[in-house]
């Protein structure tokens, strides 16, 4: 398993730095975020180092297990913390708000009467421009 000696999440995931762990298995550690968006905000860290989803994309099975675990943690936030729902968020690149360059998934519980949070303001795009945008993405796949 690849590790990066300068990566704080490698150290946390592998137990070299203590954390408020909510789940651990051979591949992952799930911890409480130090700057939580809400009570119970959890981060899922793979124990192996990958900077972002692009470095994980070949390992579809591991990615699948990571997102399945996000669902399991969200379900536990609903049961254990009485959350009404939860966001699953995963940031890639500084422009997207990524600050720690070790792949991780945020699972953010949301509570009745709390802030209803989405990560964007809905915008709009003309149909022609939308079609061109879709073509640009299709051509790059």
Which positions touch ligand AMP (CB under 6 A)? 8, 19, 31, 33-35, 43, 91, 97-100
Spatial contact of 38 and 76, defined as CB atoms under 8 Å apart: no
Shortest distance, position 75 Cβ to ligand AMP, whole Å: 21
Q: Toward Zn ion, which CB reaches closer, 6 or 60?
A: 6
Q: Which has the closest alpha carbon to 30: 39, 41, 40, 42? A: 42
Distance CA 48, CA 5 (A): 12
- Answer with the entry of Zn ion, ligand AMP, none that 7 interacts with (C-beta below 5 to 8 A by kind): Zn ion
Among Zn ion, ligand AMP, none, partner that 66 touches (CB below 5 to 8 angstroms by kind): none
Secondary element (H or E) of residue 125: none
Least spacing, CB of residue 133 vs ligand AMP, in Å: 25
User: Per rule CB under 5 A, is residue 62 in the interface with Zn ion?
Assistant: no
> What span, in angstroms and rounded, lies between the C-alpha atoms of 75 and 70?
9
Listed residue (85, 86, 84, 89) closest to 106, CA to CA: 89
Query: Is residue 49 a contact point for Zn ion (CB under 5 A)?
Result: yes
Interacting residues of 67 by C-beta distance below 8 A, sequence separation 6+: 88, 105
Least distance between Zn ion and beta carbon 5 (Å): 9
Residue positions annotated with a catalytic role: 104
Shorter beta-carbon distance to ligand AMP: residue 77 or 91: 91
Q: In the complex, which residues of this chain contact Zn ion (CB under 5 A)? A: 4, 7, 9-10, 49, 102
């Amino acid at each position: 398993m690849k590790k990066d000696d300068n990566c704080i999440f490698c150290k946390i995931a592998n137990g070299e730095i203590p954390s408020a762990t909510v789940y651990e298995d051979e591949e992952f550690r799930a911890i409480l975020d130090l700057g939580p968006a809400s009570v119970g905000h959890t981060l899922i860290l793979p124990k192996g180092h990958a900077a972002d989803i692009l470095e994980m994309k070949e390992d579809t099975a591991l990615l699948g297990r990571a997102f399945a675990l996000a669902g399991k943690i969200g379900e536990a936030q609903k049961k254990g913390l009485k959350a009404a729902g939860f966001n699953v968020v995963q940031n890639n690149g500084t422009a997207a708000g990524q600050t720690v360059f070790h792949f991780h998934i945020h699972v953010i519980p949301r509570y009745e009467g709390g802030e209803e949070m989405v990560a964007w303001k809905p915008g709009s795009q003309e149909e022609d421009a939308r079609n061109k945008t879709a073509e640009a993405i299709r051509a790059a796949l």
